[in-house]
Amino acid sequence: MKNNNNLLKVPNNNSKDAKLKKLFYDVDDSLFNEDNYSKEKLEHLCVCSGGTTSSCAKNGFTTLDLRKNHSKINLDRKTNLVTIGGGVIMGDLLNHLQKHNRSFPIGLSKLPGAGYILTGGVSPLSRGYGLAIDNIESIKGFLGNGTFISLKKNQIIPEKQLIWEAIKGAAPFFSIITEIELKTIQSNPIEIIEGFINLNELSEIIQLSEEFPENISLQWIYAQKIYIYVFAELKDNLEDKKTETYLMLLKKFPKLEKNYYENFNEINFFPKELDLYELNTNNHSEVISLLGEDLQNNIPIFIKCLNEIMKNKPNNSCYVASQQLGCKTKKLNYGSSFFVHRNSTWKPWIYASWKKNDLQEKKIVMDWMYKSWSSLKRFYPNIHLAQLHNHLDSHEEEIRLAFGNRMSELKTLKNIFDPQGILPPL
């Protein structure tokens, strides 16, 4: 344990500015002592892996930073399974795997850590390989009551089955995961069709994308203007011909250009030209992630709704974006998990950002985020709990919409395995 009144160096600005009570680098018995957390202040332990969310450090709270002592990566060349520490960031994982011509379905950024995997993990490759949680082979870690756990797929005894399923999607509420073993995939070349488009074109491209095969996915971002990426994994000649016929349909959009990458590792989504404010240290932000099925006939109404949302945007740093899942993520043959909205095709997110310390702007921006969420609910009624919001009023509704009919099982697990409420509250 270390006393540390300093700040935590993490990508998320809210967390970076938080004054910690204490900082731990390893799982230590005193972490599980309830006397170390003030009940009046609703204190709990914050866990930091990639440090990309607003919940890995909070003013006056203790953080366990897994990045220092839980950052090993080891690829078994015989099984092609990779073991990573709970503090590994996705960019380091991809770099390591690429040396052996292997890869993993990471998300749109290389910055997130194990939180990306444990909360589900939606990748541009997910339509072909499932969510990140669908690729977990085993885990090691500690429950909120301090008990060590080690679980391996296909060797789970019935008493541990519920824990195993809940780790896949809801781990942060009742466990600290120090090691994860993952399936890896062959690293293949990627073709990307990308560029700026207008709202009418977005409407047409969404319609096309709902027919895409599993190796192609659409991601779009509407910040100042709309930018899209149609991401296609190239596998072999026969399949690549089929891929080309889908990509040919995008030729009619004059501003889109085709780029070829040797592997996923070479791609940087959302480049500087988009002028995103995510890394602006003068700003604080919150993000909410939604889930919904195919838009089909609702595309025109959705586009109208998106237009309204963007017209009411309180400042230039706020945006709405979306990524496409579906195909393999809809199949249940990975075994049950706490990512319950398996019929989802779209994961849009609303990024709300304000000048830090400007409480008036924060209120306006958060109101915009909630209003936008409310108008998008008819298309995307569910939540992907990629960010923990127990510090926000929307927390209860978010967890209900994220875990659906598994909410009571999660509450039971929390009561049994984190009875003192050491970890983030439900």
Ligand X SMILES: Cc1cc2nc3c(=O)[nH]c(=O)nc-3n(C[C@H](O)[C@H](O)[C@H](O)COP(=O)(O)OP(=O)(O)OC[C@H]3O[C@@H](n4cnc5c(N)ncnc54)[C@H](O)[C@@H]3O)c2cc1C
The C-alpha angle 221, 306, 110, rounded to 5 degrees, equals 20
**CA–CA distances in Å: residue 10 to residues 16, 211, 411:** 6, 39, 30
Smallest distance from ligand X to CB 404, Å: 18
**CA–CA distances in Å: residue 412 to residues 164, 173, 225, 382:** 14, 11, 45, 22
* Alpha helices, DSSP H, located in 269-321: 299-311
Nearer to ligand X, 34 or 308 (CB): 34
Residues sharing a CB contact under 8 Å with residue 395, sequence separation 6 or more, in sequence order: 389
Smallest distance from ligand X to CB 406, Å: 18
Q: Which runs of E-coded beta strand occur in 234-356?
A: 257-261, 283-291, 319-324, 346-355
Smallest distance from ligand X to CB 101, Å: 23
Smallest distance from ligand X to CB 244, Å: 25
β-pair partners for 194 = 229, 257
Smallest distance from ligand X to CB 186, Å: 21
Q: Which helix (H) or strand (E) holds 229?
A: strand 226-233
Nearer to ligand X, 8 or 247 (CB): 8
Smallest distance from ligand X to CB 299, Å: 22
Nearer to ligand X, 144 or 195 (CB): 144
Q: In one letter, which amino acid is 39? A: K
Nearer to ligand X, 141 or 253 (CB): 141
Q: What does the alpha-carbon distance between residue 94 and residue 104 come to, in Å, rounded to a whole number? A: 7
User: What are the residues binding ligand X (CB under 6 A)?
Assistant: 47-53, 55-56, 66, 86, 107-109, 111-116, 118-122, 171-172, 175-177, 323, 386-388, 424
Nearer to ligand X, 124 or 195 (CB): 124
Nearer to ligand X, 229 or 253 (CB): 229
